[in-house]
């Protein structure tokens, strides 16, 4: 079979769509809308996965889909009644099928511990006799083996009289005879005695002709059976062997030519009666449903386009700047044209970005599955709600969100939501709720995972952090700071690993993943009411709003998203701490000042802090800090270029960009800079091993 990787890609893409259709159908069925069309759509989805998976010899997938499909077929034909247990099993089977597709894609072996019980459950709906064997998937072999025959060539005589169905099913005796001729020399006779005498009595599809074909050569009748594979019962086929005496065969090419002539004439000239009735019926067909067509494009091409548009925007700002410097007379019109250019460029940019945008729906549905499995595993009754599934996010973001979301959902179910007993004891409804939502808010995507569990246990988190040496015993931390300890590397350890959430990643990994996407994560927890994790992501990864700054003569960019405010401090706002340390007092709180020049290893020009600019930065790691820079210029959209492939990773620098004057500027990663201050944010080096966090 074909193993072209691009077709395999198509298969997995298609599976994604089919799983979505399947999931939707199962939800409809569960909610009581189990009409024939819905059940059929579910059946079709499973059937299509099975059919295509067979082409790639994905046996686990095919086997499971087959069983699933067999049960659905019973439902479809109303032989199985739709009831609670069946619905639950189908739901589970849908989840497993999706897992198997993932396994096949990742080329990981299927988890039989999960698959087999569901297979058995499916089987329980089928009588044992309905368990059709695996032979079903085997192509009915038509491969022929002539090699074994050392026997003398035999001569066969075939007799066949094509009946009406033979013709109406699109068969042609000439083609059969031609195919027989390939097996060996043939001799053909046709009995035309049954042909009607008058043309009006002639019907093109009636069987008037009886053919007798002698084929010499083949050792068995297999090749002839193959030729008649589809028609053996439509033409009253008889195959006989002739002894040597019966077979004195002429070269038959001429015979064939005669037959061709004889046959072609009637089949062309016999008029086919007009079928007006049938035609009318057809034109009254319900309107053809417009098929949603999509264009599948290699992502690399889109990336190239995005890059080119980025360059276009840079180019536009270069021209803009040059013109301003040139100080031309009567330039008003020129600048208005330039503004149009700018608008157009932005429009193209947005259009190109939209190509990469994908709804979060498939991602959310995957998460639904994971949540259901997780809830089952810990025997908690949890309603899982998704909102804003149509929100569109950059493809890369969707792909890279899967792991962090999985982890957070498992955590929420494992630690966040209480057991049914505990919930009832505190007067909450027995069933917990986990809400997964996506929305677009002013240029960002916000994804929230909210549970109505017990909320974070702050005293316990604090205790653990002290025990692990993450904070000093007497650290004065705000509630928010305590919450953020969850994200500190080394906070969660193997000691708290449970079956479910202890999969070797801690919340620090979640945070790293989100940060790598240019996003932020925030926690909002209310004791006894629940915890909400909010992930804020930029709409696109390729362009970012940046503040252009100057540090020791170097032009650099700081992401606007992380700047809370810019401050020109007066002496009264500043306090010294230790030999070099300085603090900024702002609204009654002290915030450490980080000298960016110092941090980056530049020579500081000794300018006093009052002549410099402080950027108040909200960092994810722990709290606010102030970055001291020499000057700020303006805010500008910059095209982010990764340096990883050309230079490697630099801590504190997230990428580079080209500015309007054509110069290259580094983009600062404030979070990385701040988390290396050696104060509260100091964390021990990462260790390997399982981590998870404890929330309750």
Partner 1 sequence: MTTHILAIDDSRTIRNLLTMTLEKAGFAVTTAVDGVDGVQKFREEHADLVITDVNMPNKDGFGVITDIRAGDKNRAVPVLVLTTESGAALKERARKAGATGWIVKPFDDEALVSVIKRLTGADNGA
The CA-based diameter of the chain, rounded to the nearest angstrom, is 123
The footprint of partner 1 on residues 107-166 (CB under 8 A) is 136-140, 142-143, 165
The nearest distance, CB 147 to partner 1, in angstroms, is 17
Q: Are 695 and 415 in contact (CB under 8 A)?
A: yes
Return d(Cα 598, Cα 652) in angstroms, integer: 13
Q: Element (H or E) spanning 300, and its range?
A: helix 299-326
Question: With CB under 8 A as the contact rule, which of the stretches 281-289, 334-342, 383-391, 681-689 interacts with partner 1?
Answer: 281-289
- Out of 152, 284, 291, 379, the only residue in the binding site for partner 1 (CB under 8 A) is 291
Which residue number, 70 or 515, has a Cβ lying nearer to partner 1?
70
Residue 453 lies near partner 1 (rule: CB under 8 A): no
Which residue number, 28 or 481, has a Cβ lying nearer to partner 1?
28
- Out of 278, 284, 476, 579, the only residue in the binding site for partner 1 (CB under 8 A) is 278
Residue 362 lies near partner 1 (rule: CB under 8 A): no
What three-state secondary structure class fits 100? helix
Residue 2 lies near partner 1 (rule: CB under 8 A): yes
Residue 211, judged by CB atoms within 10 A of its CB (0-12, 13-18, 19+), counts as buried
Residue 265 lies near partner 1 (rule: CB under 8 A): no
Return d(Cα 225, Cα 210) in angstroms, integer: 18
| Distance of alpha carbon 172 from the chain centroid | 47
Site string for partner 1, 624-653 (x = CB under 8 A): ------------------------------
Q: Element (H or E) spanning 467, and its range?
A: helix 458-467
The footprint of partner 1 on residues 483-522 (CB under 8 A) is none
Residue 229 lies near partner 1 (rule: CB under 8 A): yes
Which residue number, 16 or 414, has a Cβ lying nearer to partner 1?
16
- Out of 38, 89, 123, 178, the only residue in the binding site for partner 1 (CB under 8 A) is 178
Question: With CB under 8 A as the contact rule, which of the stretches 287-295, 371-379, 622-630, 648-656 interacts with partner 1?
Answer: 287-295
The footprint of partner 1 on residues 11-70 (CB under 8 A) is 11, 13-14, 41, 43-44, 47-48, 50-52, 54-55, 57
The nearest distance, CB 176 to partner 1, in angstroms, is 8
Question: With CB under 8 A as the contact rule, which of the stretches 110-118, 169-177, 341-349, 364-372 interacts with partner 1?
Answer: 169-177
- Out of 152, 272, 326, 579, the only residue in the binding site for partner 1 (CB under 8 A) is 272
Return d(Cα 250, Cα 187) in angstroms, integer: 7
Which residue number, 268 or 379, has a Cβ lying nearer to partner 1?
268
Which residue number, 179 or 239, has a Cβ lying nearer to partner 1?
179
- Strand boundaries in 14-94, DSSP class E: none
Q: Which two tokens stand for residue 529?
A: 């009411």
- Out of 285, 473, 634, 688, the only residue in the binding site for partner 1 (CB under 8 A) is 285
Return d(Cα 599, Cα 676) in angstroms, integer: 9
Which residue number, 171 or 599, has a Cβ lying nearer to partner 1?
171
Q: Are 619 and 588 in contact (CB under 8 A)?
A: no
Q: Element (H or E) spanning 665, and its range?
A: strand 664-668
How many residues belong to the site for partner 1 (CB under 8 A)? 53
| Phi–psi pair at 76, nearest 5 degrees | -60, -40
Return d(Cα 72, Cα 93) in angstroms, integer: 11
- Out of 26, 104, 186, 234, the only residue in the binding site for partner 1 (CB under 8 A) is 234
Which residue number, 1 or 326, has a Cβ lying nearer to partner 1?
1
- Out of 87, 174, 348, 522, the only residue in the binding site for partner 1 (CB under 8 A) is 174
The nearest distance, CB 515 to partner 1, in angstroms, is 36
Which residue number, 165 or 598, has a Cβ lying nearer to partner 1?
165
Residue 230 lies near partner 1 (rule: CB under 8 A): yes
Which residue number, 60 or 373, has a Cβ lying nearer to partner 1?
60
Residue 170 lies near partner 1 (rule: CB under 8 A): yes
- Out of 134, 169, 343, 424, the only residue in the binding site for partner 1 (CB under 8 A) is 169
Which residue number, 274 or 332, has a Cβ lying nearer to partner 1?
274
| Distance of alpha carbon 192 from the chain centroid | 63
Q: How many CB atoms lie within 10 A of CB 364?
A: 23
The nearest distance, CB 271 to partner 1, in angstroms, is 11
The nearest distance, CB 16 to partner 1, in angstroms, is 11
Residue 179 lies near partner 1 (rule: CB under 8 A): yes
The nearest distance, CB 70 to partner 1, in angstroms, is 11
What three-state secondary structure class fits 189? strand
Q: Element (H or E) spanning 547, and its range?
A: strand 543-551
| Phi–psi pair at 584, nearest 5 degrees | -105, 130
The nearest distance, CB 138 to partner 1, in angstroms, is 8
| Distance of alpha carbon 659 from the chain centroid | 35
Residue 677 lies near partner 1 (rule: CB under 8 A): no
| Phi–psi pair at 195, nearest 5 degrees | -60, 135
Return d(Cα 432, Cα 453) in angstroms, integer: 7
Which residue number, 164 or 607, has a Cβ lying nearer to partner 1?
164
Q: In what order do the strands lie in the sheet with 664-668?
A: 631-639, 543-551, 554-559, 664-668, 653-658
Pairing relationship of beta strands 624-629 and 613-618 according to DSSP bridges? antiparallel
Which residue number, 14 or 389, has a Cβ lying nearer to partner 1?
14
End-to-end CA distance of the chain: 53
C-alpha Rg value of the chain to the nearest Å? 37
- Out of 279, 439, 480, 679, the only residue in the binding site for partner 1 (CB under 8 A) is 279
Residue 263 lies near partner 1 (rule: CB under 8 A): no
Question: With CB under 8 A as the contact rule, which of the stretches 115-123, 217-225, 267-275, 506-514 interacts with partner 1?
Answer: 267-275
The nearest distance, CB 169 to partner 1, in angstroms, is 5
- Buried b / exposed e over 678-694, threshold 16 CB at 10 Å, is eebbebeeeeeebbbbb
Which residue number, 175 or 516, has a Cβ lying nearer to partner 1?
175
- Tell me how far CA of residue 68 lies from CA of 71, 184, 225, 340, 415, in angstroms: 5, 47, 35, 58, 33
Return d(Cα 526, Cα 612) in angstroms, integer: 40
Site string for partner 1, 398-437 (x = CB under 8 A): ----------------------------------------
Return d(Cα 396, Cα 398) in angstroms, integer: 5
Return d(Cα 584, Cα 570) in angstroms, integer: 10
Pairing relationship of beta strands 624-629 and 155-160 according to DSSP bridges? unpaired
Which residue number, 14 or 221, has a Cβ lying nearer to partner 1?
14
Residue 270 lies near partner 1 (rule: CB under 8 A): no
DSSP per-residue string spanning 586-621: ETTEEEEEEEHHHHTTPPP----GGGSEEEEEE-SS
Q: Which positions lie near partner 1, rule CB under 8 A?
A: 1-2, 4, 6-7, 10-11, 13-14, 41, 43-44, 47-48, 50-52, 54-55, 57, 136-140, 142-143, 165, 167-172, 174-175, 178-179, 182, 227, 229-230, 234, 272, 274-275, 278-279, 282, 285, 288-289, 291
């Amino acid at each position: 079979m074909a193993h072209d990787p691009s077709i395999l890609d198509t298969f997995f893409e298609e599976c994604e769509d089919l799983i979505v259709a399947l999931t939707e159908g199962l939800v409809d069925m569960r909610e009581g809308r189990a009409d024939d069309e819905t059940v059929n759509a579910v059946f079709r989805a499973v059937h299509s996965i099975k059919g295509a998976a067979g082409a790639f010899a994905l046996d686990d997938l095919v086997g499971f889909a087959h069983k699933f499909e067999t049960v659905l077929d019973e439902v479809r034909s109303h032989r199985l009644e739709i009831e609670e247990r069946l619905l639950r099993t189908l739901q589970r089977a849908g989840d497993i099928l999706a897992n198997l597709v993932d396994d096949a894609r990742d080329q990981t072996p299927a988890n039989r511990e999960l698959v087999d019980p569901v297979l058995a459950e499916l089987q329980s709906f089928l009588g044992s006799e309905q368990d059709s064997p695996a032979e079903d998937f085997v192509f009915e072999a038509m491969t022929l083996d002539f090699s074994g025959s050392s026997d003398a060539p035999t001569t066969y005589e075939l007799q066949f009289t094509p009946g009406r169905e033979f013709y109406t099913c699109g068969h042609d005796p000439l083609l059969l005879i031609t195919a027989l001729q390939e097996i060996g020399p043939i001799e053909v006779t046709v009995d035309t005695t049954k042909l009607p005498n008058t043309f009006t009595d002639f019907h093109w599809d009636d069987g008037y002709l009886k053919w007798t074909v002698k084929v010499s050569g083949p050792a068995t009748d297999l090749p002839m059976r193959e030729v008649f594979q589809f028609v053996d019962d439509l033409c009253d086929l008889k195959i006989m062997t002739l002894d040597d005496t019966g077979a004195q065969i002429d070269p038959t090419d001429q015979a064939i030519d005669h037959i061709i002539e004889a046959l072609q004439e009637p089949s062309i000239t016999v008029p086919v009666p007009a079928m007006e009735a049938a035609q009318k019926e057809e034109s009254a067909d319900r309107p053809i449903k417009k098929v949603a067509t999509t264009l599948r494009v290699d992502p690399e091409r889109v990336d190239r386009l995005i890059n080119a548009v980025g360059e276009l925007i840079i180019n536009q700002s270069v021209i803009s700047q040059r013109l301003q410097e040139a100080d031309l007379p009567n330039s008003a019109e020129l600048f208005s044209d330039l503004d149009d250019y700018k608008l157009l460029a932005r429009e193209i940019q947005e259009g190109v970005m939209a190509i990469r945008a994908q709804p979060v729906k498939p991602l959310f549905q995957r998460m639904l599955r994971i949540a259901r499995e997780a809830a089952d595993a810990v025997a908690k009754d949890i309603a899982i709600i998704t909102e804003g599934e149509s929100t569109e996010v950059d493809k890369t973001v969707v792909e890279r969100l899967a792991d962090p979301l999985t982890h957070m959902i498992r955590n929420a179910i494992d630690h966040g939501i209480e057991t049914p007993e505990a919930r009832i004891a505190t007067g909450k409804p027995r069933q917990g709720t986990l809400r997964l939502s996506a929305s677009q808010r002013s240029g960002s995507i916000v994804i929230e995972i909210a549970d109505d569990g017990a909320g974070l246990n702050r005293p316990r988190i604090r205790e653990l952090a002290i025990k692990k040496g993450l904070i000093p015993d007497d650290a004065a931390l705000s509630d928010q700071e305590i919450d953020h300890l969850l994200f500190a590397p080394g906070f969660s350890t193997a000691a708290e690993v449970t079956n479910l959430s202890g999969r070797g990643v801690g919340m620090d990994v979640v945070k790293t993943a989100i940060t790598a996407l240019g996003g932020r994560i925030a926690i909002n927890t209310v004791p006894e009411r629940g915890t909400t994790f909010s992930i804020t992501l930029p709409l696109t990864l390729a362009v970012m709003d940046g503040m252009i700054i100057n540090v020791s003569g170097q032009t650099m960019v700081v992401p606007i998203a992380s700047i809370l405010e810019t401050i020109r401090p007066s002496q009264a706002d500043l306090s010294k701490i230790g030999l070099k340390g300085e603090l900024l007092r702002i609204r009654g709180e002290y915030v450490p000042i980080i000298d960016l020049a110092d941090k980056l290893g530049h020579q500081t020009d000794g300018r006093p802090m009052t002549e410099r600019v402080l950027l108040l930065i909200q960092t994810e790691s722990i709290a606010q800090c102030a970055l001291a820079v020499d000057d700020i210029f303006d805010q500008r959209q910059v095209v982010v270029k990764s340096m990883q492939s050309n230079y490697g990773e630099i801590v504190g620098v997230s990428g580079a960009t080209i500015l309007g004057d054509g110069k290259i500027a580094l983009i600062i990663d404030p979070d990385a800079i701040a988390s290396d201050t050696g104060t509260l944010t100091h964390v021990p080096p990462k260790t390997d091993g399982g981590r998870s966090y404890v929330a309750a």
